[in-house]
Amino acid sequence: DWEVQYQQDTPVAPRFDVNAPDLYIPAMAFITYVLVAGLALGTQDRFSPDLLGLQASSALAWLTLEVVAILLSLYLVTVNTDLTTIDLVAFLGYKYVGMIGGVLMGLLFGKIGYYLVLGWCCVAIFVFMIRTLRLKILAEAAAEGVPVRGARNQLRMYLTMAVAAAQPLLMYWLTFHLVR
């Protein structure tokens, strides 16, 4: 069951529902990603505080750009959803967990380990995003009883697929230069 539990029209707190989005894992993963990037740069004798700051600010800028693009897309497609900005940040922040695994395996096993672990994590985040966002973005249409083949629902499904497809691309873009 991938749906968030509700109690009197409000979502249940994350400590009572494993499917409720919270920012603990994404925030810790973001910080850990920056530290692991520093470790990777340090093992290659390329570390500098400026590069570490650049790593953190570029990852944060991409996350912000993603959130703004999704919110704009939801507005343009006229999707009424209970998906908040904080929920989006939480869902989009899970990609950092896979990025950490990929970079660590790249440090331990080279390019082969990096590509194997990052590939598996990319598939996992793709499936997670589709299953999670589909429930949020298509929930309004299901409540209205609109047929799945409708033009608006196809736009919603394309939006869900685009968000899910962007995650592996960003995971690769933010980590490929850290593994040699």
Residue-wise pLDDT for 104-129, tens only, equals: 999 999 999 999 999 999 999 999 99
Are 138 and 1 spatial neighbours (Cβ–Cβ below 8 Å)?
no
Residue-wise pLDDT for 65-90, tens only, equals: 999 999 999 898 888 887 889 989 99
Are 37 and 103 spatial neighbours (Cβ–Cβ below 8 Å)?
yes
DSSP for 113-124, please give it: HHHHHHHHHHHH
Tokens of 49: 């505080």
- Whole-model pTM: value is 0.86
pLDDT at 142: 58
Nearest to 152 by CA among 72, 76, 83: 76
pLDDT at 88: 93
- Inform me whether the pLDDT recorded for 141 exceeds 70: no
Q: Give CA–CA dist 103/178, Å, rounded.
A: 7
Which residue ranges make up each domain of the chain? 6-176
Amino acid identity, residue 95? K
Tokens of 169: 């691309």
Amino acid identity, residue 72? L
Are 126 and 167 spatial neighbours (Cβ–Cβ below 8 Å)?
yes
